[in-house]
Structure 1
Amino acid sequence: MFKHLITGTATLALMTGTALAQDVAREDTVIFDLDRTITDPTNFNWLTDGTGVRRMHGGHQVMWEPLFILDYNTGELDPWLAIGFEGNDDSSAFTISLRDGVEWSDGEAFNADDVVFSINLALENEEITAREASAIRSQVASVEKVDDLTVSVTLQAPNPRFMVENFGIRIFGSYLIMPEHIWAGQDAATFTFPEPIGTGPYTFTSAATNRAIWDRNDDWWGAKTGFMDLPEPQRVIFLETGGEESRAQLIAGNDLDAAQNVSVGTFEAVRAQNAAVIAWYEDYPYAAADPCARQLEINTTVAPWDDPAMRRAVAHIIDRSQIVNVAYEGTTEPSRTMFAQYGAMQPFIQAAIAAGGELPMTADVDAAQALIEGAGWTRDGDYYTKDGETLSVEIHVNSASTEYTRTIDVVVEQLQRAGIDARSVPVENGVFWGEVLPFGAYEMSYSWLSCGSVNEPWASMGRYTVKDVVPVGERSPGFNNTARWDGAAAEAYSAAVDEMASLPLGDPQIVDLVGQAYGHLAEEMPFIPLVQAAKLIPFNTTYWEGWPTNDNYYNHPFFWWNTGHQIVHGLTKVE
């Protein structure tokens, strides 16, 4: 599967541009895979970064700690920097209780002043663009300090999901608290935070475009207060590995401890070389279910895809089973609806199916071509044409992962065979998330913008309401409704979803509202669900044990999330 294995610390030194350390041995160092270049190694202002890259190389995994962490296994919010919260009767205000004894790594106390200041950063600075900041700005009316360990947040409208959405790491990250004593007086849009600090057990040592190094703070507040023992790794490195073959070589040679997603073939080749490499499941399909189901985004303002019939035609052409078998090597399953297919989501999935929203596993090209021809297109050789124009489409895809590009290669081939001149347009990660998606600079694109719902439906459905429609060329708020879906059906959908938003979690009316809304979604097809996402994440147990697996399910295995703190704390040194 890969040509040869490069082993030994010489490889690591070559990749990082530095030896491991003068005083930190390999067996005391944990090395995580980074799937992207650090474009500005001295800039840690995550608030102006929509792609997460300024925090994914260790910032929010080992330095910036969250208030809470959502346990995917239990559905509960586990306390971290905060110990609890309480909402008022209609969930329009929340009181957050902070943990006593928390300190920034420079010794300053972490308290309510930092939380109030950080929330106000989002409220008072329209120019900061991180998704989490946009969410705070759209939901919070005001925030105030009650006392040093208590914060009161008043919302613009009732939202029973406020805490898990913004401070619980439901998906990828949370709104991160910054130190007031450093950020006060700085321009939130331009301050680079070049010497970053956090409350976490590691402090920043150095970074280059291909790696970031973090060293343990043995004076960490958590150990001093008895909250948690110091993590065992003395050093943590996030290393850009340069792609699947390279990461396979490194993890097989014990120069990488946790790798980004790989194919089944690559994983099996690695494991044949090194029996210490494991995954979520011990046996096939190995991969863990990812909460962000994959889909084809469609810009509904661009002809001919502004016609719902043409969008439905594309949905008929796509063979989801082939995507599973070819692009994912059988490690996942076709999406039945827009939702991640977790057990808690089953009532809502069934409501969507009853409303006509279930997608077929295989293609119905005849039905697709009937819709295309009904829109006035005529097959002329390989492709359909109308008024001298060939029916064509460009599909933008993030080039950061072979998962993305392989999937769109399959979709392009399917569309080509059906008479649409489709072409894949790979773009660099920063451009994809910074320009293509938020500004609607695409006809179609591959992504997961309905991501959000893991235990209730509003988090995903609320991303496609008309309140977030903006013109092409203007940034979509929080990446919501980048399809610019509008019109009567979208209005009716939005009314049902808005009603759902005000109901408490578990209210039986929510299931009925899902059915009402989903009927409009299925008819209009502003995006096309494709497959459930699966991540085959190799972990190396040569130096470290305690990785999250199905048999050691303390949480999911996505080490690039803000939940990475749990993984680092869960590791124990192999003796």
Structure 2
Amino acid sequence: MAKVFRLMRYPLLFFVVVLNLSACMSANTSPPAGVMTDVGTPRNQTLIFQTFDGKTNNPDNMNPMMSGYAVWRGFRELGWGSLWEMNTATGHSYGELADGFPQVLDSQHTGFRVKLKPGIYWSDGVELTTDDVIYTLDTYFKDKSKLTGSGVSVITNYVKSYKKIDKYTFEVTTVKPAYDFVTVMGVYTWGPAFIIVPRHVFEKQADVSTFLNTNPVTLGPYTVKSYDKNGYWQLWQRRSDWKRSAWGWMGEPKAQYVLYKDFGTEETRTLAFIKDQYDVDTFMSPDSIQGAEAKNSAISTFSSTMPFNDMGDACSYGILMNQEKAPFNQAAVRWALALTLNLQGVGMNALNGQFRASALPMSDTHILRPLYFNPLQSWLKDLTLSDGYHPYDPSFANELSSKLQSAGNSASALPQAGQATSDAFGLGWWKYDPAEAQKLLSTVGIKKNSNGVYTLPNGSIWQPELVVPSDWNTVMERIGFSIGDSWKKAGIQVNVRQVDNGEFTTVQNTNSKLTMELNWNSCVFNSNYLNSWRSIQPSNLLPADSNTSINGNPFRWNDPTVSSLLNASSHMDSSSPQFIANGQAISKEFITNMAYINLMNIPTTIPTNSYYWRGFPKQSNYYSAPYSWWSSAKMIVLHIQPTGK
């Protein structure tokens, strides 16, 4: 890890290392005809993804009702089926297992009738029916105290009652008005909370909470062929009866096999990518991508112009602060942290400038910009802090573009001025102003000592902790250390601590462990912000020293205005003008209180290698979000074509 991190801190050095190592290869990097993968499948019949989370510690656990199962190994994309899926290119839902949208049964919008498509079969030949749906709901409710899958609590807190009507029809009554029924019971972004399991398999188990489901019966067009007991890979094989699967009605998946594999450290991954050993990476750092592109013409980014990578993820990177703990319970402190965070410098150091800033608590995307960002620009420009200071910088994108050109980026790779620049780098962010931050901190008794280091009111040095991912997400790791550098230059002696994926989640969900964390806790994909924000309620708050896992409200934010707006919005159609107006009002509260320091759209650095497969989502062919770990990756599996090599 130490070696990797030293390289990551020096992008040019890493780029040179990649070029030197790859120069040792044959000039012709193309594999010989008939090459096989290391799991025994023909390479030209196998689509290969770098895994999202690296190695899994629970490779034999394939039970979606339990947390920690091999969730990043293709189940959402290839193995399960959802009542409704999301078209991630448009933000609109469509029926996958459901035959169209639900029938609303009452004026309160709490009763729904759902019809399943007939003729969809589990991989063992048993037809999917209402009995599977009812069994899954029964089990969620009956065993909710033992089932740890994240979707269990979502559904049991959302559904009031349900009943079977016939073989393909059922009805559901929700606890509250549910204008978001399709996205809660189906897919909103990366996958469903409600995962239907095969009744004829699970009902035979004495205790489903201890059932590993190691040889899963699947509903999608692929089944698990084999997996690595050490947790590094999982191989899927296309069903011979794929037409009868959950999304077989949409067309034929061309890949006979799909392999999810961790190719190791970024140096190792980059070299494997150059040698055409896999097809789609996950969060490769920009300088590594640049090195790979220089050695293999089949490798490309999402776009040919900056920021090069897709910025359409529902989630955004931001600083999660525990507002239950002093001094983070004071807005002045949170604003000071934002104003001492030099986001232009962070983005250039960590991402070579390949990012889009977002001042709102959501991603700035082509779906959300006209709904929330554009209407709030005047308000942002007029916004003042308690001392009359205007913190918003609407020239952020133009300044960043100028700095990138001065740093040597070619003009052809940069967007032209005006709309293109804001489309690339965002509409604006907060000023970098350590002097104003010092004024704010002094109002709460946090002052600099003779060494220029901030001290708390009791005189001790302020040493807050910022938790960041380790090398399982190199991009976030680099962003985190760059943020730490920015704060330290301003006099805040932050301790940046790297953790593995398991501890990262534990810190996020445990008050006693969380001070600050670089995270992605605000995930708004379309007009419906309830999926991400509905839990911002005082009832979800726990004591600052609690060791109990939170059950919502990750921002630890007690704001009566926001809670009231969210309650009102839950009774509205998510496309209505008032619902959207409420979302704008909530965004204002987020910003006024700096309840979450939103930074940027997730820079989804996902290069593809088109030696064996072509037709991946690109800016010029945006039929789906290009993320291999979202359930919508099924659209990638459907659209790609073999090159014949």
TM-score when normalising by structure 2? 0.82
**Which residue in the other structure is 1:476 paired with?**
550
Aligned partner of 1:393 in structure 2 is: 464
TM-score, normalisation: structure 1: 0.91
Cα 1:222–1:567 shift into 2, 3 Å:
farther
Equivalence for 1:500: 569
Question: Structure 1 residues 347, 201: closer, same or farther in 2, change over 3 A?
Answer: closer
Other-structure match for 1:77: 93
**How far apart are residue 39 of structure 1 and its match?**
0.8
| CA–CA distance in structure 2, aligned partners of residues 224 and 183 of structure 1 | 19
Distance 1:183 1:548, change over 3 A: same
Displacement of 1:233: 1.4
In 2: Cα distance, 1:213 partner to 1:225 partner: 19
Displacement of 1:538 after TM fit?
1.3
Q: Tell me which amino acid in the other structure corresponds to 1:473.
A: N
> Equivalent residue for 1:568?
637
Choose which of 55, 64, 67 in structure 2 pairs with 1:46: 64
Give 1:201-280 correspondences, 5 Å limit: 201-208=221-228, 209-222=231-244, 227-280=249-302
Could you give the per-residue CA deviations for residues 395-432 of structure 1, whole angstroms, max 9, x where no partner exists? 11122211111111111111112221101111100221
Change (3 A) 1:408 1:225: closer
Q: Which residue number in structure 2 is paired with residue 466 of structure 1?
A: 538
Using a 3 Å threshold, how does the CA distance of structure 1 residues 79 and 518 change in structure 2: closer, same or farther?
closer
**CA positional deviation for 1:171:** 3.4
Do 2:529 and 2:583's aligned partners in 1 also have CA atoms closer than 8 Å? yes
Instruction: Encode CA deviations 1:134-167: one digit per residue, 9 max, x unaligned.
Output: 2112211122221111121110001211212331
Q: 1:373 aligns with which of 442, 454, 457?
A: 442
For 1:339, the equivalent position in structure 2 comes to 362
Of residues 605, 608, 622 in structure 2, which corresponds to 1:539? 608
> Structure 2 residue aligned with 1:322, among 345, 359, 377?
345
Q: C-alpha separation between the residues in 1 aligned to 2:219 and 2:42?
A: 25
Match of residue 28 from structure 1: 45
| Cα distance in 2 between the residues matched to 1:292 and 1:445 | 15
Residue 225 of structure 1: CA displacement? 11
Matched AA of 1:466:
P
Task: Identify unmatched segments of 5+ residues in structure 1.
Answer: none
SS of residue matched to 2:522: coil
Higher mean displacement: 346-355 or 257-266: 346-355
Matches within 5 A, 1:10-29: 19-21=38-40, 24-29=41-46
Q: Aligned-pair RMSD on alpha carbons?
A: 2.5
Q: Distance in 1 between matches of 2:459 and 2:221?
A: 64
- The reply on whether 1:382 has 2:452 as its aligned counterpart is yes
1:8 touches 1:255 (CA, 8 Å); kept in 2? Answer: no
SS in 1 for 2:560: helix
* Residue 372 of structure 2 corresponds to residue 348 of structure 1: yes
Please say if residues 263 and 329 of structure 1, whose CA atoms lie closer than 8 Å, have aligned partners that are also in contact. no
What CA distance in whole angstroms lies between the structure 2 residues aligned with 1:235 and 1:365? 54
Residue aligned with 1:530, SS: strand
Please state how far the C-alpha of 1:470 moved relative to its aligned partner. Answer: 2.9
Q: 1:105–1:199: 8 Å Cα contact kept in structure 2?
A: yes
Task: Confirm or deny: 8 A CA contact 2:276 2:609 kept in the other structure.
Answer: yes
Aligned match for 2:476, one of 404, 409, 412: 404
SS in 2 for 1:459: helix
**Count of residues in Structure 1 that have an aligned counterpart in Structure 2:** 560
Classify 1:78/1:186 alpha carbon distance in 2 versus 1 (closer, same or farther; 3 Å).
farther
Alignment pair present for 1:432 and 2:432: no
CA distance in 1, matches of 2:191, 2:243: 25
Over 3 Å counting, the alpha-carbon distance change for 1:69 and 1:359 in structure 2 is farther
Residue 97 of structure 1 corresponds to: 115
The code of the aligned residue for 2:295 comes to: Q
What's the CA shift for 1:466?
A: 2.3
Match of 1:144 among 139, 143, 163: 163
**Sequence identity percentage:** 24
Q: In structure 2, how many angstroms separate the alpha carbons of the residues matched to 1:438 and 1:29?
A: 37
Could you say which residue in structure 1 is the equivalent of 2:401? none
> Structure 1 residues 313, 228: CA separation in 2 closer, same or farther (over 3 Å shift)?
closer
Cα offset for 1:297? 0.2
Distance 2:246 2:603 in 1: 39
How far apart are the structure 1 equivalents of 2:583 and 2:629? Answer: 32
Quote how far apart the aligned CAs of 1:351 are.
5.2
1:291 and 2:276 matched? no
The residue that corresponds to 2:198 in the other structure is 179
Give 1:532 deviation, angstroms: 1.7
**Given that residues 293 and 448 in structure 1 are in contact (C-alpha distance below 8 angstroms), is that contact kept between their aligned partners in structure 2?**
yes
Question: Displacement, 1:257?
Answer: 0.9
Tell me if structure 2 keeps the 8 A contact 1:201–1:230: no
* Unmatched 5+ stretches in structure 2: 1-14, 385-390, 394-428
Q: In structure 2, what is the equivalent of residue 155 of structure 1?
A: 174
The residue number in structure 2 matching 1:111 is: 129
1:512–1:60 CA distance, 2 compared to 1 (3 A): closer
Q: CA 1:4/1:66 → structure 2, altered by over 3 Å: closer, same or farther?
A: farther
**Alpha carbons of structure 1 residues 324 and 225: separation in structure 2 relative to 1, 3 Å:** closer
Given that 1:494 and 1:517 are in contact with CA atoms closer than 8 Å, whether structure 2 keeps it comes out as no
Pair 483,457 (structure 1): closer, same or farther in 2 beyond 3 Å: closer
Q: Is this contact kept in 2: 1:103–1:221, CA < 8 A?
A: no
1:55-84: per-residue Cα shift (whole Å, max 9, x none)?
211222211122222112233222222221
Residues 434-486 of structure 1: CA distance to partner in whole angstroms, max 9, x if unpaired? x1111222100010111134233333332423232233322222xx3223222
